[in-house]
Each structure stands twice: as structure tokens, then as C-alpha cells.
Structure 1
Amino acid sequence: MPSSIPRSKVPPGLPSVLKATGNNLLPAVLVVAGARVLSNTSGTDIGTGWVALAAMLSIPLVYVWRIVYRDWSFKRRAAAMGAVMAPNRVGKRIGNLDILKKGVDAFNGNGWPGEGFWDGLDEYGPLHIVALLWDPVYLTHDANVVKTVLASDFPTFDKGEAFRETVHSVLGVGVFNADGEMWKFHRTMTRPYFTRDRITHFEMFDRHADLALKKMKERFRSGHALDFQDLISRFTLDSATEFLFGQCVHSLKTDLPYAYNDPVAARVVRTRSSADRFAEAFLNAQNALAMRLRKGWVWHFSELTKDASAEAMEEVDAYLQPILEEAIRKNKSQIGNVASGKEKDAENETLLDHLTKLTDDPVVLHDETLNILIAGRDTTAATLTFVVYLLCMYPEVFKRLRAEVLQHIGPTQMPSFDDIRSMKYLRAVINETLRLYPVVPFNVRVANKDTTVPNPDPTKPRVFVPANIGVAYSVFMMHRRKDYWGPDAAYFDPDRWIDERLNKYFTANPFIFLPFNAGPRICLGQQFAYNEMSFFLIRLLQNFSHMELDLSAQPPEARPPPEWAGAEGQKGVEKIVPKAHLTLYVHGGLWVKMTEAERDG
């Protein structure tokens, strides 16, 4: 096994820019070559200045011709399929630079998710085209289009080469960015491990939850606010690394941060553990990917000399490498035990144990475990963060949910699978949080051939989607559409998952709710996530009788801008700034205070 995961030393933006530059300079090269041939064969002396001028003009002229021809070709091919083109959003600056700038600014600043690139949905419709520097992409939050892309026409839509290139330095060729046979291979490897509930999961959740609750109580007893997002990210990181590798990073055992305005923060020098460095690097790598995805093809120019994810991935790889080596070594030693009946108990087998039975390729193991770690850790942490945020915002929901916990389970008992399945309001609170704050708010698929998707206007022909063009979709925005969820779609109301609205909206069209994706790529760990989230929330509400936001502890740069006030729905009452890299999170952390529940005896 190699001593480290092999990584290219070539900056990721350079090859694509050089290739594009070569393609764009080709007309000028042909002009110069043609002039030389003409001069040699005819004896005509063509002035150097004229040749240089013609060569320079040829570059933009040919580029414009390519765009015009491409657009004409799209229309011709659409007509041949009896389809129409989607509306085209046009910005105020050349190449739609104003739209690109607004999208990047919203990501870097305190922009609401969906601002910038997605602003045109009201004006241009739920399916339209925006071309950033003349590179077109479809934007949609139409459920029928999303259903087609993810399920009914699944073979036609891939993650795509551009997406794989963008995320390769972090995700490699794992299940989330693989296509075709490679995707089937990764999916086949991991699916058997998620086919049944394991009681060991609950035992694992309980151990890590006990430590998390202990840390919370210590902090609250001393009168200080706590960043719940940081704590729950540690809980899910510890659970995920134990689940995946059988080796926990023990991030909950390190010191928790204090609020920026807490006097203790200036006196306490926190020692950054290996778990802290790994978690920070993990986040930084995802931020690098998020910025690339928002810039579109332009990101190549910003990484001509340096890979923005390289430093973070060195830290991530340093953590993963010895674990992978040990897993491969352990599997080889286990092979000899199979015949003698000493094979490891499957109930206690980690996911990495399972994977090493199928391959000993360190790159495949590295990419697959990292992909699942992002899914298993970040998505669960994000949802639990927003659940607690909403419970603080809506104390009547907190009281009702806590009453259900105490009624079904009591103040101290560990919940079982059956307990969790019987708690309808708990599932309603989680689902409503996932509706308003889906962990993967934006995603994209690329057509691998010319195709069509349903027209949002059913009276018109289907919409043409050319081969190699992306269809970006937003479940964040789809989950807030009034025609899908009713006039109160923008507001938090768990009862919509219990009362008559459930059958009226969701049951009638399940594709309006896709927090775990859909179709063949639906999340394999969906039930695992529901179990982990439910388990921790039960433990949390058993131990605390009151919770509230500590808005004074929220960093000033992480507070909602004044212009959000009065907006419809959650945006108008937001106390935090939701942001997204690959997954949704709270900018600056979620600072809370809680009151311990009184116990008899």
C-alpha cells in the first residue's frame, strides 16, 4: 500500500485553462498559417500588421460564432424533438457578470440561500436558462422536472464530467460524484451495510450522547452560552468515525469554544487536537468546493497556481491514511480465520470492515469512506442544529415535543426503534425542519444526450435539454413553493405532517419533499440518519426543560441583515444566517442556553 493517497501536483485549474486557451487560440494560429501559405504560393507579400490584426480579430469572432451556432443548434435540435427552449435569463452586464457577481457575493456575505443565481425564478419561471460567461445551465425548482431528472429518466442524467472535475480533489471517485458502472460499483459495495437496523448503533449513539450532554451541562452550569452547532458536529463526527472506521476521533473530549464576547474566551487558550484539525480541514475542503461550484467554469482561473483544497486535504488524508492501512491489514489477517470459524461478528462489523472485504484499493477505500463521512456527519449535524434553532424559536413546539418524549419514553429510559417509530410529532418536527432547511439545498445533474423534461406549463410542449448541459435544481426553494405546500409554505409548522395537509399536498405528490434525494441515488443512510437524529433529540429533551437562543453571543458578522426583517416566512423572523457549502449550516454557530430538567430523587 502506498504511504499516502496519490495527489496530482498540477493545480486543478491549469489543465482546463490551457486546453481552453489552446482551443480559443486555434483560429489565430490558422490565420497566421494560412497567410504564410498564401504568401509562399502566390508570392503576395501580406503585411505583418494585417496578419496580426486578422489573427487577433479571429479569436473573438470565432468565439461569438461558436456561441451563435450552439444556440442555433439547440433550437434546431429542440424543434426536431417537438420541444421548446426554456426561457433565457439575461443580466445587465456582458456574459451575465452581474449575476455571477451577485451569486458569489451572496455566498461570501450574508446572503439568503437562493439569492443571486436563483433570483430569476419568479420572473423567468420555474425552469429557465442562465448563461454565466456564455456557459448555459438550467435552473429549476419544479417537482416534475426534478422527478424526471432524478427518477423517471435517471439513465439520461449524470453527475457529469464538469462536476467530477470540480470536486475530484476532495471527493475523488466516490459514490456521490461517480456515474455509470463506477457509481453502480460504489453503490453495490455500500448498500448491504444499510439493509437493516443494528442495535449497536443505538448503543453507540448513547455513549456519544452521554458525553455531549455532560459537556452541555458543564457549560450551562457555569453560566456560559454554548455553540450547539459545534457540539453536535462533534457528536456526529465521533459517531460517524466510529460507525465507519471503528475508531472514534474523540472530538467531544476536547475543549469547546466560548462566544466571542465571553470574558473567558480571552483567558482560555484552546489546544487544537487532531480531531479539531481534522474537522476544520474537513470544513475548509468543502468550502473550497462550494466556491468552485458557485463560480462555474470560472473557478479554473482562480486555481491556476494553487489547489484551494490541497492544504485541507493534506490534513484529512493524514487522519485517514493510518486507519485505512490498519483496516486492510486487519482484513488480510481475518481471511485466514474464516475457515476456522473465527470470522468477525457481522453485527459488530464497521463499514470499513465491510468495504475491505470487497477491495483493498486504498484510493477506492479513501474516496468511499470520505464520501460517506460527509453524508453521515455533516447532514445529520446540520439538521439537528436547525431543529434546535427552531425549538428555541418556537417554545410551544418544544413543550409539545418534550411532552411526547416523556409520555412515550420517560425521563431516563433509552429509546428503542419501536419508540422512535411511534413518536409522530418527533418525526413531524424533523420533517418540517428538513423541509425548510434541507441539508443539500442545491444540486445538479448533466444530460448525457439530447433529451426533454416536462414543461412547467402543461399546456406547452416539453422543454429541450441539450447533451452535456447541466440542470441545477433547488429543493430548498421547491420545499417553500405555495402551490406545493399551501399558502403557509414559508412558515414552520410541524402539524402539516399530521393534519389534513399531509394528504392534500405531500401524499398527493411525494416528489415535493426530497431531503434525501430520490430515485436510484436516494440516500442509503436515510433511516440511519432518522434514527440518530431522533435518538439525540430524545436524549436532549429528557435532560433539558427549556432552551433559548443567546443572540448576544452570535458574532456580529453572523447576524441577519436588517433588510431581511419583515420578509415573508422564516426569512423575515430569522435570528441566524443559514449558509451552504456542500451542506447547509448556521453562519457563526448556534449559540444557546438551556435549563436542566429536574429529576425526582
Structure 2
Amino acid sequence: MFETNYRVFFAKSVARLLTPPLFIAYFISRFFLESLNALLVPFFYLVVSLIWVVLVIQFKELSQHLDARRRGAVLVPKTGLTIEGAELFDELNADTVNLRFLWRDIILTREPQIIQSVLSTHFSDFEKGPLLKIRALTRPFLVGHLYDLLKLDPFLNGAPPARERVRDHHLFDKYSNIIISLIQQRSLQNESLDVQDLFGRLTLDAAGEFLFGTTDLQTLSLPLPPPAKRSKLGPKGTRPDDTVAVGTYSGFVCAFEEVQVSIVHRFRYGPLWPIVEWFKDATQEHNEAIDAWIAPLIKKALEDKKYELARS
């Protein structure tokens, strides 16, 4: 069962890690160190806990080496966080690297075959673990739909497109033509265009029709951000418009970008981020704004789909 309360998840994780060493320390102090000074007892418990954590880390690394040897594989080369961009891979002359931050493996890759395996051919083997889920607060049902989308994509799985998938290419062609038209309009007016915003709208509209069979999103038909200096910046890009009210597309975009920023901050704190947000969830308000816009649209799309199936 996926734990949605990150405070409970963090408490359980700490309990699982520290219960064994605390029990061992109690057993040793109770039966072998009865004369131990009371002032030294907390220090003794701390030392035993630190030794236990070190042993757990070393045991995991040893298990990885033994498993790699058994499979005839090579471990991913490790590097530091001080290297950025393409230099990260060029420094080690590798397409897959391990950042190994705070005793945790962080694997980055640019190898096409690995990306294809993770996203398509072996997608079900790479389910998000509990730590990543609780940090990103990913909706499980969206992950399931993402799998259906990716495993059927002929460009990702290497299979030739089947006749029944032709409609999906028409969807891409339909929304691509809308984007081209918008670009041409701005070009004729000699005005700049926020490409990030444009492709974000393409993704929403195409995914809405592909996954849920709805054309109600229509974000490409909404006003685009004003060009150049007249536009206002949001957390990660230009705002669609000056309205950021809850339940509007602009409010959705700003909230979605704020969640992305919050998740990046969580990665900076590593596994200790729940302590920083113990009294206030940094994503709760933004998640509510996201749901306020997207949930009614998805609900209506699912109801329409159910109605069409009932009629047929």
C-alpha cells in the first residue's frame, strides 16, 4: 500500500532504520555493560546506531558488487555532483553515470537503449519506488495511463505502426498544425513566442484526447502569453495571462510549475526533506489548484466515454 502521508512515511522509515541498532544497544548495555555510567548511555546508543548505519550501507554496496559479478555485469561509474551537463558523461567517457549523493544511487543516462527499455519495452519493471512517489506525490492512475501511452508508441518500442494506431498519428498531426499556425501568426506580426508554453499546451490537448477521448481542454485555443517585455514571468516561464485564479488554465500552469520547483527543493534536502516540511506541505496548495482545473475535465471525459460505451 502506497503511503500518501509523507510524515508517516518518514516516521516509518526512521523506525525501520533505528529499531535494530537501538535494540542491540539495549541488549548489550543490559546484559554486558550493567556498570555503564548513565551519562554515557545516550552516547553508547548513538555510537551503536552510527555503526549500524555504516554496516547497512556497506552491506548494500557489497550486495551490488556480488550481484553484478554473478550477472557478468559492470557497475555504473560514480562521479560527483560538481560536474554539470554533458561534462557529467564526458568526464567518465560513459553514457550512464551514478551521482551517489548522500549514500544513495542517483543514476543518469543518455543511452538510447536504456531509455527505450525504461520507457517502453520494460516499463513495468521500473515502477516508481515509495521514496520517489512520496517526494513527487505522483498520481498512480496517471502513471498507469502513461504506461498505456508509451508501450503503444511505435517510435519507442521499435515496432512498425499498426493500422489501428493511425488515428493517434492523426491526433499528433492535428495539434501540430495548430501549433504551426500559431507560430506563423506571431511570425507575421514579428513578435516573439514562448515555445515552452506552446508545447506544454500541445501535450495537454493531445494527451487529453489520446488518453481520455476529450477535446474539452483546448488550451491551444486560449490566449497565448504576450510577447517580449509585455509578458510576466511565472515560476519557470511566462504566464499564459495575468489571471492566476484557481480553476483557470493560467492558475493550473502556475501551480504545476510551483510543484516542480518544490520537488527540486526536496531533492536538495535528500531523505530529510519531510523534516523541513513537517508543519506545512509545500505542494498541498498547488496540488489543489491543479486538481481544481484538471479534475472536472477528466471526470467529464470519463463520464462521456462511459456513456458512449453504454450506447454502443
TM bucket, shorter chain: 0.5 to 0.7
Q: Which of 64, 67, 78 is residue 57 of structure 2 equivalent to?
A: 67
- Confirm or deny that 1:227 pairs with 2:194: yes
> Which residue of 1 is the match for residue 88 of structure 2?
119
> Which residue of 1 is the match for residue 102 of structure 2?
133
Q: Distance in 1 between matches of 2:90 and 2:272?
A: 23
Superimposed CA distance per residue, residues 20-63 of structure 1 (whole angstroms, 9 cap, x where no aligned partner): 32234321343135423557xxxx54321232221111121111
Q: Is the 8 A contact 1:166 1:293 kept in 2?
A: no
Q: Distance in 2 between matches of 1:149 and 1:199?
A: 23
- Confirm or deny that 1:256 pairs with 2:225: yes
- Map 1:83-482 → 2, pairs under 5 A: 83-89=73-79, 91=80, 99=81, 102=82, 114=85, 119=88, 121-123=90-92, 125-142=94-111, 154=122, 157-162=125-130, 165-166=133-134, 169-175=137-143, 195-197=165-167, 201=171, 204-205=174-175, 208-209=178-179, 212=182, 216=186, 221=189, 224-231=191-198, 233-234=200-201, 237-238=204-205, 240-241=207-208, 244-250=213-219, 252-254=221-223, 256-260=225-229, 270-272=242-244, 274-289=248-263, 292=266, 297=271, 299-334=273-308, 337-338=311-312
Q: Is the 8 A contact 1:208 1:239 kept in 2?
A: no
Q: Distance in 2 between matches of 1:155 and 1:214?
A: 38
Which amino acid in the other structure matches residue 30 of structure 2? R
> Which residue of 1 is the match for residue 66 of structure 2?
76
Q: Distance in 1 between matches of 2:184 and 2:149?
A: 42
* C-alpha distance 82-335 of structure 1, shift in aligned 2 (>3 A): closer
> Which residue of 2 is the match for residue 32 of structure 1?
26
**Structure with the larger strand share:** 1
Q: Distance in 2 between matches of 1:193 and 1:291?
A: 45
> Which residue of 1 is the match for residue 235 of structure 2?
none
Q: Distance in 2 between matches of 1:209 and 1:147?
A: 27
Provide the secondary structure at the position in 1 that maps to 2:91.
helix
* C-alpha distance 254-86 of structure 1, shift in aligned 2 (>3 A): closer
Aligned length: 289
Supply the RMSD in Å over aligned alpha carbons: 4.6
> Which residue of 2 is the match for residue 592 of structure 1?
none
Provide the secondary structure at the position in 1 that maps to 2:229.
coil
**Structure with the larger helix share:** 2
Which amino acid in the other structure matches residue 46 of structure 2? M
TM-score, structure 2 normalization: 0.67
Q: Which of 40, 43, 46 is residue 56 of structure 1 equivalent to?
A: 46
> Which residue of 2 is the match for residue 362 of structure 1?
none
Long gaps (5+) in structure 2: 153-160, 232-240
TM-score, structure 1 normalization: 0.39
Superimposed CA distance per residue, residues 382-428 of structure 1 (whole angstroms, 9 cap, x where no aligned partner): xxxxxxxxxxxxxxxxxxxxxxxxxxxxxxxxxxxxxxxxxxxxxxx
Long gaps (5+) in structure 1: 1-6, 92-98, 104-111, 263-268, 339-601
Provide the secondary structure at the position in 2 that maps to 1:254.
coil
Q: Is the 8 A contact 2:120 2:151 kept in 1?
A: no
* C-alpha distance 214-292 of structure 1, shift in aligned 2 (>3 A): same
Q: Distance in 2 between matches of 1:309 and 1:336?
A: 38
